């Protein structure tokens, strides 16, 4: 009988319930914002190379975050090199790369499984979670008594937290899978799927951390489940890594919130809000990066459209000047420094006088492509931002 299980006395907070009736109203606003921003990211149009770059950046960030919170000391540059297959480490640090490689391989396998099954997998079960843990610990040296992919048979203490009784881990893991597949996380309509999935991902992470069913790799396994739940709900792959990034970037607060969550229902609500606040911050940052790339691409397209089928040397110089000034992204550039923006531009102006440069910039300012200020010149990209909001000045 379940009433006889040890965890009911030692871990009564593992009750597979979520009561959000007393949640801060901001939580609901954040869930709505998360859904909106995810839909914007999913619908973004980018050049293939820009999209691939975004995938690589956030895969590296996600893999780094997932392992760094467990003590991996590889840098972000090294994580990026690992994603690109160019990382070379001395033998003494190779285990760090193996830890991260395992996470990347697991991320990629989950992605392939979801895509290969049309966006929907069978409900999560204990065997799948065990398989994820085996993937996480593949090829790593683990402590005596730890078997990758097998539930622990001994007691564990992480910081000041003791995991659930070993004899109850199998039962609790199966209960967790049943709960995640229950109506508690079943959206009443397709347009509410994303908010429900975000809650499911966060709570799956929290409960796996509470149960701590494996001898090692519990946090990394929890973050794999998080990624799977989000990706299966339609969250674009770069955004599926944002919760892991948040936990790692706020590591002290993460552990504080984990400890707080086991003390009361308010603690669970606090952990959920803490996770969603970080997730939304990450979505805002990601959407800003996408918008910046879109603005760059559209501006470049606009510049080429304005110059048309340019054949004259003057038009070529002016077009190159606008494009190079756009790429500078350092604020206004003084006129005397414009020639040195790029080797190509320097060559175009090599035989020209300052009078020619002055004439060119005056023409471009008059055409609305450049903006002049006391500090110098910059590209006038604002002219293609059709609905740029007006910001009131304070005096």
CB contact at 8 A, 37 and 287: yes
Task: Tell me the Cα Rg of the chain.
Answer: 26
Question: For the chain, what is the mean pLDDT?
Answer: 92
Topology of the domain covering 309-384: Arc Repressor Mutant, subunit A (1.10.10)
Residue 89 is given by DSSP the state -
Same fold, 47-142+149-291 and 309-384: no
Q: What is the mean pLDDT of residues 286-309?
A: 92
The CATH number of 47-142+149-291 is which of 1.10.3290.10, 3.40.50.800, 1.20.59.20, 1.10.150.120? 1.10.3290.10
pLDDT over threshold 70, residue 310: no
Give per-residue pLDDT as tens, 199-226.
999 999 999 999 999 999 999 999 999 9
C-alpha angle 228-234-239 in degrees, rounded to nearest 5 = 70
The residues spanned by each domain of the chain are: 47-142+149-291, 309-384
Percent above pLDDT 90 for the chain: 85
pLDDT of residue 389: 63
Give per-residue pLDDT as tens, 344-395.
999 999 999 999 999 999 999 999 999 999 999 999 998 998 776 655 555 4
pLDDT over threshold 50, residue 143: yes
CB contact at 8 A, 75 and 67: no
CA distance 175 to 172: 5
Which residues lie below 8 Å from residue 148, measured CB to CB, with a gap of 6+?
133, 134, 136, 137, 138, 140, 142, 216, 217
């Amino acid at each position: 009988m379940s009433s006889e299980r040890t965890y009911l006395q030692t871990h009564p907070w593992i009750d597979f319930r979520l009561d959000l009736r007393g949640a801060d109203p901001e939580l609901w606003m954040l869930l709505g914002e998360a859904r909106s921003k995810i839909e914007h990211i999913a619908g973004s149009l980018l050049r293939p190379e820009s999209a691939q770059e975004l995938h690589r950046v956030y895969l590296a960030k996600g893999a780094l975050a997932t392992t760094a919170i467990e003590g991996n000391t590889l840098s972000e540059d090294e994580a990026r090199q690992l994603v690109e297959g160019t990382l070379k480490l001395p033998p003494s640090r190779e285990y760090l790369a193996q830890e991260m490689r395992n996470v990347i391989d697991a991320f990629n396998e989950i992605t392939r499984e979801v895509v290969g099954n049309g966006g929907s997998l069978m409900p999560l079960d204990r065997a799948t979670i065990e398989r994820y843990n085996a993937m996480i610990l593949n090829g790593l040296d683990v402590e005596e008594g730890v078997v990758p992919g097998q539930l622990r048979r001994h007691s564990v203490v992480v910081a000041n937290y003791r995991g659930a009784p070993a004899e109850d881990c199998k039962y609790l893991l199966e209960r967790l899978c049943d709960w995640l597949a229950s109506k508690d996380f079943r959206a009443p309509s397709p347009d509410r799927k994303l908010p429900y999935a975000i809650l499911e991902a966060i709570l799956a992470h929290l409960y796996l951390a509470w149960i701590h069913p494996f001898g090692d790799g519990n946090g990394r396994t929890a973050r794999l489940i998080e990624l799977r739940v989000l990706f299966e709900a339609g969250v674009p792959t770069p955004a599926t890594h944002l919760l892991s990034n948040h936990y790692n970037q706020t590591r002290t607060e993460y552990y504080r919130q984990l400890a707080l969550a086991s003390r009361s229902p308010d603690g669970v609500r606090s952990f959920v809000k803490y996770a969603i606040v970080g997730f939304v911050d990450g979505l805002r940052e990601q959407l800003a990066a996408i918008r910046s790339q879109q603005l760059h691409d559209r501006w470049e397209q606009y510049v080429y459209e304005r110059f048309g089928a340019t054949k004259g040397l003057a038009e070529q110089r002016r077009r190159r000047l606008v494009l190079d000034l756009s790429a500078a992204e350092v604020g206004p550039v003084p006129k005397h420094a414009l020639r040195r923006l790029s080797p190509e531009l320097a060559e175009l102006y090599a035989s020209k006088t300052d009078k020619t440069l002055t004439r060119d910039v005056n023409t471009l300012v008059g055409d609305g492509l450049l903006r002049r200020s006391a500090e110098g010149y910059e590209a006038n990209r604002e002219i293609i931002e059709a609905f740029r909001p007006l910001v009131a000045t304070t005096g």
